[in-house]
Chains A and B, each alone.
Chain A
Amino acid sequence: DQQVKQNSPSLSVQEGRISILNCDYTNSMFDYFLWYKKYPAEGPTFLISISSIKDKNEDGRFTVFLNKSAKHLSLHIVPSQPGDSAVYFCAARIYNQGGKLIFGQGTELSVKP
């Protein structure tokens, strides 16, 4: 039972354009969502997060949007750069279960010069 789903295994974008990575979830008890970025042969690094009481959070080139009614969140990267090429994981936290996170399958982003 995949509670957090990233249905696109890969995405290719031209440098300077917008990258949009999507994530769907099924559990209404999720109260906090995070995006992680992972380069090959390295551990994931935290990128940006959003509380379920908000619908948008922005940090520089990265913006996360949350649509609770649709149980959908997205990560926008504008403008995309070749260094953004990595695997991006969406993660969600269940209310009242401490720091435990549920991760999606990941989307591999390739930004072409």
Chain B
Amino acid sequence: DVKVTQSSRYLVKRTGEKVFLECVQDMDHENMFWYRQDPGLGLRLIYFSYDVKMKEKGDIPEGYSVSREKKERFSLILESASTNQTSMYLCASGAGVYEQYFGPGTRLTVT
């Protein structure tokens, strides 16, 4: 079975802090994705990566950056956390062009 793990299930940070969310997949997938889920808005793509050291902006990249130094690991960075970044963050991985496999999510609260 594909396993996608995220470093934290719940996280509370203060406004202005730098936040790192880590995602690791064990299936050697080329593609990795970061989404945020908000009520009434569904899943919105923040950034994605098709290969090591490669990244592309999704639909809502503002306020975020990413890093992919190894194939299995994709990190999402909030340079200076703000309250409007309080959300559920979901990481996914996939091979080729079909379904994506999601991690359990990180519920981030910024106070």
Contact = CB atoms under 8 A, between A and B. Distances in A.
Interface of A: 4, 6, 9, 32, 34, 36, 41-46, 49, 89, 91, 93, 98-106
A98 B43 contact: no
A32 B98 contact: yes
Contacts of B40: 9, 105
Given A32-B98, A49-B99, A99 B31 contact: yes
Taking residues whose C-beta sits less than 8 angstroms from the other chain, chain B's interface range is: 20 to 34
8 contacts: A42-B105, A43-B103, A45-B102, A49-B98, A89-B43, A99-B31, A99-B100, A105-B41
Interface of B: 4, 9, 31, 33, 35, 40-45, 48, 50, 58, 90, 92, 94, 96-105
B101 A46 contact: yes
A37 to B, nearest CB: 11
A78 to B, nearest CB: 23
